[in-house]
Amino acid sequence: KAGVTQTPRYLIKTRGQQVTLSCSPISGHRSVSWYQQTPGQGLQFLFEYFSETQRNKGNFPGRFSGRQFSNSRSEMNVSTLELGDSALYLCASSFVPGQGAVQETQYFGPGTRLLVL
Amino acid sequence: DAKTTQPNSMESNEEEPVHLPCNHSTISGTDYIHWYRQLPSQGPEYVIHGLTSNVNNRMASLAIAEDRKSSTLILHRATLRDAAVYYCILRDVRDDKIIFGKGTRLHILP
C-alpha cells in the first residue's frame, strides 16, 4: 500500500505571496491532519479534516487554511507569507472507522519544506 | 501544551538495549500513551502505544508504571538506524490531534 505523499517536496516563496501544499493520504484513510515543524517550536498541530469537514484546529492565524476533497486528498493554503512561516509542513493520515469514532495510528508523509525569503 | 517530560538527549551503544523514559504525571484515565519517532529528514513514524498494560511489538516494548504517571520505551537491541528523535505523547481517546513535545534525541554509538 502506498504511503502518504506530499507535493511539492521543496518550495521557495517570498514574503506576501501565498502557497498551496497538497497531501494524498493512504488509500482508505479518511482523516488528514497537518502539522508545522520548526526548530524553535517543534511539531505543532495545524488542523484535521475528516469527510471534507474540519474536525479540529490548532492555534494558528487565519492565514492558514485547508480543505479536503471527496477522495480524501487535502490541501493547505498559507496566504500573505511571513518569514516565520518557513518550516517543514507535515501531513498525516489515519483510518477512522466511522463518524465520531476515534481515529487510529497516524501515518506521516515526508513533508514539504517551505522557505520564505 | 505538551503534557509529557522527556530528557533532551540520550546516548547508547549499538547492539545494546535502550530505555527511553517519559514522565506524564497529569495523565487522565482517557489518555493513551503513544510513542512516535522521527528519523533524519523524514516525517514521524508510529512506534507503539498503550493504556495500562505493557505492550510489545516488532519495533519496541512499552513499559507503563502501575500509577501510569511514567512510561519507558525499550529498544531491545539498538542499531544505528534507531538514531532519531523519540516523542512520547498522551493522546486522549476523545481527541484527534496529537500534541508533540520536544522529544528525546537518541544517539547510537557504533
Rounded to whole angstroms, how far apart are CA atoms A7 and A110?
9
Q: pLDDT digits over B19-29, tens only?
A: 999 999 999 88
pLDDT tier, A40 (very low <50, low <70, confident <90, very high otherwise): confident
Distance CA(A100)–CA(B64), nearest Å, equals: 28
Asked if A58 reaches chain B (Cβ–Cβ under 8 Å), the answer is: yes
Which of B44, B45, B97 faces A45 most closely, judged by CB atoms?
A: B97
* pLDDT score recorded for residue A102: 56
Interchain pair A56, B100: CB under 8 A: no
Residue in B with minimal Cα distance to A106: B46
**Which residue among B93, B101, B102 places its CB closest to the CB of A102?**
B93
pLDDT in tens, A47-80: 999 889 998 899 999 999 999 999 999 999 999 9
pLDDT given at position B41? 86
User: Distance between CA atoms of B14 and B109, rounded to whole angstroms?
Assistant: 6
Interchain CB distance below 8 Å, A43 and B44 = yes
B89-102 confidence digits (pLDDT tens): 988 766 667 788 88
